[in-house]
Amino acid sequence: MTMGKESVKDKNLHGDHRKRVRERFMKSGLAGFPDHNVLEFVLFYSQPYGDTNETAHRLLETFGSLSSVLDAPYEELVKVKGVGSYTAVFLTMLPQLAKRYFSDMIPDRVTFTDRKSLLDYIRAEYISETSETAKLLCFNNGGLLINCCKVSIGSKNSVSIDRRTLLETAFRNSASSVILTHNHPNGMAVPSQNDIVTTKEVFRLFSDVNIRMLDHVIVSGNDLFSMAESPKFGIIFNM
């Protein structure tokens, strides 16, 4: 009977704590919440009862940061004590939801002349991508984005791009012009020497088939680097 009373007491205690956290969120949003409290709050909605604070701390200790927790694969999440299948699916879904949210905010008609919408679109495309990934944006004669196609997936630190895949992707979408993009998930949004060499090769590849390559954009989190807009590398696109 004593154990039963303690269980009820703990349930009430956790319920009161959750209520206070929710009230704090409703009053001021997540401002002022440290990462472990953000994660604790998020876990309320996959674990309706009990203390999620310890699980939040374990997740952060295991993966190192809030973003790393949300980017962690399902198989690694379920290894953490207190994280079951339901919670692991819930956590891996959140970055995908964020990606859909930001994509939905971007105008339906993205053109290469509307630079802000274009860069917002590219940034949103790389939310939740944890490996280096190359994508090709294909535009029609009027500059309207036709499609954004994933053309290669690499490791966390490198990606190789098959030239035939690039051409087939552009032809399949009847592209008049293209923008190549890839991300640096573990680095900065600056081109490596390999990126520079690849850009020159891909530019010549498309020029040979009368498709205009407009830019090569490198993404790292919220940071973007446009090689076409760089004083140092912009000359590549005017050759």
* Same domain membership, residue 157 and residue 94: no
**What is residue 9's predicted lDDT score, i.e. its pLDDT?**
45
Rounded to 5 degrees, φ, ψ at 188 are -100, 160
pLDDT at 14: 60
pLDDT at 15: 66
Boundary of a domain, candidates 66, 101, 136: 101
The tens digit of pLDDT for each residue in 95-111 reads 999 888 887 877 778 99
* Of residues 216, 222, 214, 191, the one with CA closest to residue 123: 222
**Distance of alpha carbon 103 from alpha carbon 123, whole angstroms:** 9
| Three state DSSP letters for 103-145 | HHHCCCCCECCCHHHHHHHHHHHCCCCCCCEEEEEEECCCCEE
Q: What is the pLDDT of residue 186?
A: 85
What's the pLDDT score for residue 156? 72
**1: its two tokens:** 């009977």
Q: By residue range, what is the domain housing residue 214?
A: 107-238
The residue out of 57, 78, 101 marking a domain boundary is 101
Rg (CA), the chain: 23
CATH no. for residue 221? Answer: 3.40.140.10
Indicate the SS3 state at residue 36. helix
How far is CA 200 from its chain centroid? 27
pTM value?
Answer: 0.75
Provide the domain count of the chain: 2
Instruction: Say which CATH number the domain at 52 has.
Output: 1.10.150.20
Sequential pLDDT tens for the chain (239 residues): 223 343 544 555 566 889 999 999 998 899 889 999 999 999 999 998 888 999 999 999 999 999 899 999 999 999 999 999 999 999 999 999 988 888 787 777 899 999 999 999 999 999 988 889 999 999 999 999 999 999 998 877 778 889 999 999 999 999 999 999 999 998 899 999 999 999 999 999 999 999 999 999 999 988 999 999 999 998 899 86
Q: Please check whether residues 122 and 216 belong to one and the same domain.
A: yes
Q: Which of 54, 86, 101 marks a domain boundary?
A: 101
pLDDT at residue 130 in the model: 86
CB atoms within 10 A of CB 225: 18
Instruction: Indicate if 151 and 75 belong to the same structural domain.
Output: no
